[in-house]
Amino acid sequence: MNIALTSMGPTAEARISEKFGRCPFFIIFDTETKVLTSLANTAANDEHGAGPAAAQLVIRERADMVLTGALGDNAEAVLKKAGMRYTTGLKGSATVREAIDTYLLSPTT
């Protein structure tokens, strides 16, 4: 499974970005290989439609799950239409690595 996390930077030690559409980076974590891939969010500076464009970006990257602080309605609609799962409520005080560990240890995964 590939998990896309919203991130303030390109590494696992970067803080979580609480904003989906405007996050600077997505970190894609492959749960099978344990490989992290950094992806610049090319939609972050779009004047309009950053959320849906960012959603299309993680869909193209074959993410199965999104972990973020908050999703706008339009981004959420795009993810739902693609059948993608997501979890919101992550805080910017956590690092990407901490968020991955917490998610993988949760009983609902």
50-102: pLDDT as tens digits: 999 999 999 999 999 999 999 999 999 999 999 999 999 999 999 999 999 99
Residue 109 has pLDDT above 70, yes or no: no
State how far the Cα of 42 lies from the Cα of 3, in Å rounded to an integer: 18
- For tokens 């989906």, the residue is 20
State how far the Cα of 65 lies from the Cα of 77, in Å rounded to an integer: 14
Single-letter residue type at 23: C
Query: Smallest Cα–Cα separation from 46: which of 28, 68, 67, 20?
Result: 20
The mean pLDDT value of the chain amounts to: 95
Residue 107 has pLDDT above 90, yes or no: no
Confidence of residue 106 (pLDDT cuts 50, 70, 90): confident
Residue-range domains of the chain with CATH: 2-105 (3.30.420.130)
Residue 12, C-beta contacts closer than 8 angstroms, at least 6 positions apart: 27, 36, 95, 96, 97, 100
- pTM for the whole structure: 0.93
CA angle 84, 76, 97 (to 5 degrees): 65
Express the helix, strand and coil content of the chain in percent, nearest 5 each. 30, 25, 45
